[in-house]
Structure 1
Amino acid sequence: MLLSKPEPAPQFSLFRRFVSDARKLAEKSRRAEKERQTGEIGTLVKDPATGEYRLKSEGE
Structure 2
Amino acid sequence: MAYVISDACVSCGACEAECPVGAISEGATQYEINADACIDCGTCAGTCPTGSISEA
Q: TM-score, normalised by structure 1?
A: 0.22
Q: Which has the higher strand share?
A: 2
Of the two, which has the highest radius of gyration? 1
Q: TM-score, normalised by structure 2?
A: 0.23
Q: Which has the higher helix share?
A: 1
